[in-house]
Amino acid sequence: MEKETRTERIIARLTPSEKKQFQKIVNEYGVKNLSEFIRSVLLTGSYKVTSEECENLRSNLIYELNRIGNNLNQIARYANIEKELDVRILEELSKIKELLEMLTD
């Protein structure tokens, strides 16, 4: 079976806000080949992330989880100093922190 050459072109117009949203998605996936990304999404409804892109996503996820963890630590520190947060809230914060640690391991 002979490999088909891609000769057909599709052009789409976007509003500035749509383009910004599209760029955000592309950046989040760490896409290297825009054409391959668009073809995959249009033809299969999904995008298979390569190992390099997966590592980029993982790095971004860890970064965001660390930020969340830092925020939780600040809340817990404030609560311990000021004694104004309910004990149940502190327990929930502790559970959330444990879950975040499990995700980053």
pLDDT tens digit sequence for 18-57: 999 988 888 877 777 888 888 888 888 877 766 676 777 7
Model confidence at 7, pLDDT cuts 50, 70, 90, reads very high
62: closest CA among 25, 102, 32, 31? 102
Question: In degrees rounded to 5, what are phi and psi of residue 102?
Answer: -65, -40
Whether residue 79 has pLDDT greater than 90:
no
69: closest CA among 105, 45, 19, 31? 105
pTM: 0.42
Counting Cβ atoms within 10 Å, is residue 76 exposed (0-12), middle (13-18) or buried (19+)? Answer: middle
Q: Tell me what the pLDDT averaged over the chain comes to.
A: 81
What pLDDT score does 50 carry?
66
What pLDDT score does 49 carry?
65
